Structure formats: structure tokens, C-alpha cells
Amino acid sequence: MANEIQFPYVTAGLTTLTAKMFKSGNAGAGASPISGITLSDSTSASVYWGSVPTSPATTAGQYTVTIYDGSNVVGAGQLNWDGANEIILNDIESKTAQLTFTTAGVVDANIQYVNDIEVKGVGTEVDPWNPV
């Protein structure tokens, strides 16, 4: 995927922004950033776009992304990365919102397959789970 880093910035077309990514939100002293990420506004005016480096591969995790205009920090944010693509938290939240909880903290589940083998029964002593 490309253009995972998007940053609105009012200085359209007049500057090139750069970004540094710090693993696990560790932007403190001694952290080794992934540097050299260039952001441009060629895709959309006043929104700067950049891509997470793929060579060498950027490992999965949560990153703090710091945006610079020259040596001035102009913004920062979080990027959740699975090693190849951005993890969109709204997508995860929409899926988990579909889960049903009759008892708080316990997901209602219906066992139909175990290790790709269809099962029958309800899991009681009288009607144990068995392969179909």
C-alpha cells in the first residue's frame, strides 16, 4: 500500500515535509527512527502524503509519526502497521461492534468447526462435540 501517512498542512505547494517514525510510540532520546520519509502535496492540495518504507521492510507495530517542515515539528500522530499495510482502527472497531455479549466480557459463540473439521453436538455430557 502507498500513501499511508497523510497530513493536512496549510502551506500547500510551497514546501516538502519529512517524517520520522518511532516504533511503539518511543520518540524519546535514544530511539532509532525510520527516517527519510518525504511527504508531498501532489495528490491533493493542502494534504501531504507519504509512504511507509518497504525496503527494508517496516516491521508490524504501532508507530509515532513526527512530521517536520525543515527542522520544525509541525505535527505528530499514530500509525498502526501490520508489516505490509496500515491497520485502520475503525475497521477493527466496526467488526468488534458486531460481537454479541449476553454475559459481560464473554462473547456469545457457536462452535461449528474445530481445525477446519465440522463438529456436531452441543458440548454437554449427553451431547458431546464430535466430528460430523
List, in order of start, the domains of the chain with CATH numbers: 5-81 (2.60.40), 99-131 (no CATH)
Q: Which of 16, 10, 74 is nearest to 42 (CA)?
A: 16
Residue 126: what pLDDT?
93
CA distance 27 to 34: 11
| Mean pLDDT, each 10-residue run in order, the chain (132 residues) | 74 74 64 78 74 78 86 86 78 73 82 86 89 87
Residue 112: what pLDDT?
84
3-state secondary structure of 55: coil
Q: Report the alpha-carbon angle 67-69-74, nearest 5.
A: 50
Residue 103: what pLDDT?
85
Q: Which of 52, 48, 15, 24 is nearest to 36 (CA)?
A: 52
Residue 26: what pLDDT?
56
